[in-house]
Structures are given as structure tokens and as C-alpha cells.
């Protein structure tokens, strides 16, 4: 293919410019491949063609770059727009439902009036409780994997297990929680069953983020501590963990947010749509925001009439979860800035 076969473009762009450039796209692609990888062709063309031809080809390549990058920007924009769209929609519809009473009162009149206070308490208990179990387990696992095990076979199989655990659908965690914690252990549908199921579910998140945090701690710190005569366990407790603490906290917050937003895993293990009783022990069932939205929106009494309640509950849940994520993101960002300095 020779340079002469390209359509000529005027030096100054006119309205049909971009369209004809796109039409010439495929041929230009082939030509630029020639220039890039085949030195002889390129030289021959340079000798044969005039400077104007080269200009044209460069312009075509620039236009193709511009088109692709625009497409990529558009894709990113769609994503971010979707996030803002959902949030704006919830804010728009949910803000009017939010009030002090909505946040502090129990539901009334077979769930069609009143507030969501028990759901907020339930979600908080479930999420914090699950973190209380998964954080120690997760941090200890990550410490073992990163500080002790290295690349041994046992460590490899644990990593495989963690990866696959992260991929198990939440509804399967729900089934497991029901058959194991609710029935086999005899905890019943209760706070305890729910939070243990959530703890298993968030464990991979904690392990992943903690390992990442440990990886960021410079080896020199460990070596310095060991050289001063500290044992390995002392080094970890006194030097490595404090240095990794912000990263571990970030992971903890992410795990908390994940647990708070989860529905399918607690549907049959811990959450009930309505409980008259106060939550007074680990064995009482709880109400949860996520489950509340689902039941109100799909099978509650008078779905249309309770729409404002649904919007309000969804808004509270999203604010809670995204708020926690924002804290985690800012924490992580600060960390990266500090490290760069």
C-alpha cells in the first residue's frame, strides 16, 4: 500500500473533516503499522511522498487517538454519572421522608407509618458484631500469610481458599448460615447467627486489605527491629502492626460497609421484617435496613403508600455505606500522600 492512495485532507479543517477521517480509518491503521514496524517501507515512503502526505498521516493518527480517547472518557463518564444518578435520585426522593421521628421511632400501624429506628440499631449491631469476629480473625490470618508463611504450600492453599470464599455468592452464605448457625448450632434466627454469617462473608475483604497494608510496611523496619534483638512476634506486635494500622483500619471500615449493605446473607439467618421485642440478647432476631427495604418494596402492606418510607430507608442505608467508604477512601488517600513524601 502506498501513501498516494490516501485521500488528501485540506490543511485547515472543514466540517466534513472528522467524518472522512473516520472513513479512512482502517486504511490509515494499516499504513501506520507499516511505518511502525517495517523500516524499509517507511523510508521508501518518506522518499517518495511529499511532506504534505506525512502531515496528513500524522493528522489521521491524531484524529484516531482523539476518537478513542473520547470514547474512553465517555465510558468513564457513564460510570460516574450512574453513581451520581442513583445518589441524586435517592436524595431527591428520600430527603423529604427523613426527619428526626423517622430516625428515632419504631414503625407503627403495620409498618406503614413511623420510623426505622430498630432497623438502624439492627444493622449497626450486625455490622459491628461481624467486624468484632472477622477483624481479629482476618488480621491474624493476614499476618500469618504475609509475615510467616511466604510461599509455602499451606499458604498457597489458604490463599486459594480466601480467593474462592470471596467469590461465593451472598445467597449461598445465607444458605450455609441457615443450615449451620441457625439449625446445626441451634442459635435460631438471631443476631448471633446473622453476625457470624456476615463475619464469614467479610473475612476475605479484611484479609485482602490487611495483607496489602502489611506489604506496604518497609522491610527495613522489620530488619531494624530484628537486628535490635526483638523476636519475630515482638517485631510484628510493636513495629509492623502499628505501621500498618491505618491500612488495617481502612480494611475494617470497608468490611463494616460491606456487612451493613448485605441482604441475601441475613434474610434467613438474622433479619426479620418485624419484631415487637427489643433486641436484648445475642439470641433475639433483629430488624435490618437492607431487609426492610426489600420487604417494604416487594411484599409489604400497601407498597405504593409506603414508597416514602422505602426511599427514606434506602437513603439512610446508602448514606451509611457510602459515608463509611468515603472515610476509608480519605484514610487511604492520606496514607498514599504521606508515603509519597
Near other proteins in 96-155, by CB under 8 A = 137, 140-141, 143-145, 148-149, 154-155
Residues in the chain: 341
Q: Which stretch binds other proteins (CB under 8 A): 43-51, 105-113, 178-186, 244-252?
A: 178-186
Q: Which is nearer to other proteins, 56 or 262 (CB)?
A: 262
Residue 193 interacting with other proteins (CB under 8 A): no
Which residue in 162, 213, 249, 309 binds other proteins (CB under 8 A)?
Answer: 162
Calpha distance 341→339 (Å, rounded):
5
Q: φ, ψ for residue 309 (rounded to 5)?
A: -60, -40
Q: φ, ψ for residue 303 (rounded to 5)?
A: -60, -40
Q: Which is nearer to other proteins, 15 or 167 (CB)?
A: 167
* Three cell numbers written together for 154: 499451606
How many residues sit close enough to other proteins to count as binding (CB under 8 A)?
Answer: 89
Q: Measured from the CB of residue 23, what is the shortest distance to other proteins in angstroms?
A: 18
Three-state SS at 108: strand
* Three cell numbers written together for 333: 488517600
Burial code of 303-314, b = ≥16 C-beta within 10 A, e = fewer?
Answer: eeebeebbbbbb
Q: Which is nearer to other proteins, 73 or 215 (CB)?
A: 73
Q: Which stretch binds other proteins (CB under 8 A): 110-118, 180-188, 216-224, 238-246?
A: 180-188
Paired strand residues for 107: 114
Calpha distance 105→153 (Å, rounded):
54
Which residue in 71, 151, 219, 227 binds other proteins (CB under 8 A)?
Answer: 71
Q: Which stretch binds other proteins (CB under 8 A): 62-70, 99-107, 215-223, 278-286?
A: 62-70
Q: Which stretch binds other proteins (CB under 8 A): 16-24, 61-69, 109-117, 278-286?
A: 61-69
Which residues touch 90 (CB under 8 Å, ≥6 apart)?
311, 314, 315, 318
Q: Site mask, other proteins, residues 236-275, x = CB under 8 A?
A: ------------------x--xx-xxxxx--xx-------
Which residues touch 327 (CB under 8 Å, ≥6 apart)?
253
Residues 171 and 264: beta-carbon distance below 8 Å: yes
Distance of CA 36 to the CA centre of its chain: 40
Q: Measured from the CB of residue 313, what is the shortest distance to other proteins in angstroms?
A: 9
Q: Which is nearer to other proteins, 51 or 167 (CB)?
A: 167
Q: Measured from the CB of residue 93, what is the shortest distance to other proteins in angstroms?
A: 9
Q: Measured from the CB of residue 52, what is the shortest distance to other proteins in angstroms?
A: 19
Footprint of other proteins on 270-299 (CB under 8 A): 290-291, 293-294, 297-298
Calpha distance 217→229 (Å, rounded):
19
Q: Measured from the CB of residue 293, what is the shortest distance to other proteins in angstroms?
A: 5
Classify burial at 74, counting beta carbons within 10 Å of its beta carbon; exposed 0-12, middle 13-18, buried 19 or more: exposed
Q: Which is nearer to other proteins, 65 or 278 (CB)?
A: 65
Which residue in 48, 52, 172, 185 binds other proteins (CB under 8 A)?
Answer: 172
Residue 92 interacting with other proteins (CB under 8 A): no
Q: Which is nearer to other proteins, 252 or 280 (CB)?
A: 252
Footprint of other proteins on 203-232 (CB under 8 A): 203-204, 207, 231-232
- DSSP codes of every residue in 118-184: HHHHHHHHHHHHHHHHHHHHHHHHHHIIIIIITT-HHHHHHHHHHHHHHHS-HHHHHHHHIIIIIII
Amino acid at each position: 500500500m502506498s501513501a498516494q492512495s490516501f485521500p488528501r485532507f485540506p490543511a485547515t479543517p472543514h466540517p466534513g473533516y472528522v467524518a472522512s477521517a473516520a472513513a479512512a480509518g482502517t486504511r490509515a491503521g494499516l499504513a501506520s503499522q507499516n511505518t511502525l514496524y517495517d523500516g524499509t517501507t517507511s523510508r521508501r515512503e518518506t522518499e517518495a511522498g511529499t511532506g504534505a502526505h506525512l502531515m496528513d498521516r500524522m493528522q489521521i493518527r491524531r484524529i484516531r487517538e482523539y476518537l478513542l480517547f473520547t470514547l474512553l472518557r465517555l465510558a468513564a463518564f457513564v460510570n460516574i454519572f450512574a453513581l451520581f444518578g442513583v445518589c441524586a435520585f435517592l436524595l431527591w426522593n428520600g430527603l423529604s421522608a427523613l426527619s428526626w421521628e423517622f430516625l428515632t421511632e419504631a414503625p407503627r400501624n403495620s409498618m406503614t407509618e413511623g420510623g426505622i429506628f430498630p432497623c438502624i440499631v439492627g444493622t449497626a449491631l450486625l455490622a459491628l458484631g461481624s467486624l468484632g469476629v472477622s477483624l481479629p480473625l482476618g488480621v491474624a490470618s493476614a499476618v500469618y500469610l504475609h509475615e510467616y508463611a511466604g510461599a509455602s504450600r499451606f499458604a498457597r492453599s489458604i490463599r486459594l481458599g480466601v480467593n474462592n470464599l470471596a467469590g461465593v455468592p451472598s445467597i449461598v452464605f445465607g444458605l450455609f448460615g441457615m443450615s449451620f448457625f441457625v439449625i446445626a448450632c441451634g442459635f435460631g434466627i438471631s443476631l448471633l447467627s446473622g453476625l457470624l454469617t456476615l463475619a464469614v462473608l467479610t473475612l476475605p475483604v479484611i484479609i485482602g486489605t490487611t495483607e496489602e497494608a502489611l506489604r506496604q510496611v518497609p522491610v527495613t523496619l522489620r530488619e531494624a527491629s530484628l537486628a535490635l534483638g526483638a523476636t519475630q512476634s515482638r517485631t510484628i506486635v510493636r513495629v509492623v502492626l502499628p505501621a500498618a494500622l491505618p491500612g488495617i483500619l481502612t480494611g475494617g471500615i470497608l468490611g463494616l460497609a460491606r456487612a451493613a449493605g448485605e441482604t441475601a446473607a441475613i434474610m434467613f439467618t438474622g433479619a426479620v421484617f418485624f419484631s415487637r421485642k427489643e433486641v436484648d440478647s445475642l439470641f433475639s432476631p433483629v430488624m435490618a435496613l437492607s431487609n426492610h427495604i426489600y420487604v417494604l418494596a416487594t411484599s409489604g402492606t400497601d407498597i405504593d403508600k409506603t414508597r416514602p418510607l422505602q426511599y427514606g430507608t434506602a437513603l439512610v442505608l446508602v448514606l451509611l455505606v457510602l459515608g463509611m467508604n468515603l472515610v476509608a477512601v480519605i484514610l487511604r488517600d492520606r496514607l498514599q500522600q504521606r508515603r509519597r513524601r
